């Protein structure tokens, strides 16, 4: 079989669906590669800043890496703005949806809400924006983590003179994260928190 016969899903056979499932599994193996390619496409978006979206993404990940953050944090920092390509009005939720099956819940939540937290840095300059929008998440167990994510890695990463690591440096980490079993409770670790910084790991990485 190289393609199915049905034209309506309700007419498909067991063999056809098994064939399609095998194809889908093969397709999912290349998710990391497609995401890395999408990051390069980000390079063309959002002019006006001193660095491109790709530069911002790589710089966020580089800062996370140099802070001694674990792989879930580093990959989340790298991909946190990937939604800018197709979802300019909810880019945070879009990125979180991609990450959710493969990273700790803590990290996915921070990516999902980072747009609200980032407003702290610019909301007061623009009409119709609430600088303190993040307060709607007050009391959430990951509130402080998202505040730190934005302060250390997101809002700080627009510097054209910062010594970024290359995207290729992060590729194996993206491959590793997206090769995980999706929604594995041992990865999601619901309710658990890991620090964003680890000084001894950071020292080893220097």
CB 50 → Fe ion: shortest distance, Å? 14
Q: Which is nearer to Fe ion, 16 or 148 (CB)?
A: 148
Task: Write out the two tokens for 48.
Answer: 């006006």
- Spatial separation of the C-alpha atoms in residues 78 and 61, rounded to whole Å: 5
Closer CB to Fe ion, residue 81 or residue 164?
A: 81
- C-alpha span between 193 and 143 (Å, rounded): 11
Q: Residues of 33-54 as b/e, b for ≥16 C-beta within 10 angstroms? A: eebbebbeebeeeeeeeebbbb
CB nearer to Fe ion: pick between 110 and 188? 110
Residues that bind Fe ion (CB under 5 A): 81, 154
Residue with tokens 């496409």: 41
As measured in angstroms, the least distance from the Cβ of 91 to Fe ion is 6
Q: Comparing C-alpha atoms, which of 197, 176, 26 is closest to residue 102?
A: 176
For residue 94, the minimal CB distance to Fe ion (Å) is: 10
Q: Which of residues 154 and 164 has its CB atom nearest to Fe ion in the complex?
A: 154
Query: Smaller CB distance to Fe ion: residue 5 or 47?
Result: 47
Whole-number minimum distance, CB 84 to Fe ion, in Å?
Answer: 7
Q: How far apart are CA 24 and CA 95, in angstroms?
A: 21
Task: Give min distance, CB of 166 to Fe ion, in A.
Answer: 19
Phi-psi region of 200 (alpha: psi -120 to 50; beta: other; left: phi over 0): alpha
Q: Tell me how far, at minimum, the Cβ of 163 lies from Fe ion, in Å.
A: 19
The rounded distance, in Å, linking the Cα atoms of 167 and 32 is: 13
Residue 47 DSSP SS3? strand
| Whether 78 contacts 35, CB under 8 Å | no
């Amino acid at each position: 079989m190289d393609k199915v016969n049905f034209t309506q899903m309700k007419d498909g056979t067991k063999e056809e669906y098994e064939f399609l499932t095998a194809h889908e599994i093969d397709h999912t193996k290349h998710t990391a590669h497609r995401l890395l390619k999408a990051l390069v496409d980000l390079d063309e978006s959002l002019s006006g800043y001193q660095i491109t979206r790709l530069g911002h993404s790589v710089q966020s990940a580089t800062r996370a890496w140099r802070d001694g953050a674990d792989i879930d944090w580093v990959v989340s920092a790298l991909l946190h703005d990937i939604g800018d390509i197709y979802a300019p009005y909810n880019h945070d939720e879009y990125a979180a949806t991609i990450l959710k099956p493969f990273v700790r819940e803590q990290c996915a939540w921070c990516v999902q809400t980072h747009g609200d937290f980032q407003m702290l840095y610019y909301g007061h300059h623009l009409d119709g924006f609430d600088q303190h929008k993040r307060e709607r998440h007050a009391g959430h167990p990951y509130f402080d983590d998202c505040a730190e994510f934005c302060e250390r890695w997101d809002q700080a990463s627009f510097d054209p003179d910062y010594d970024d690591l290359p995207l290729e440096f992060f590729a194996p980490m993206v491959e590793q994260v997206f090769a995980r079993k999706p929604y594995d409770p041992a990865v999601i670790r619901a309710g658990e928190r890991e620090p964003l910084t680890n000084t001894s790991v950071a020292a080893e990485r220097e």
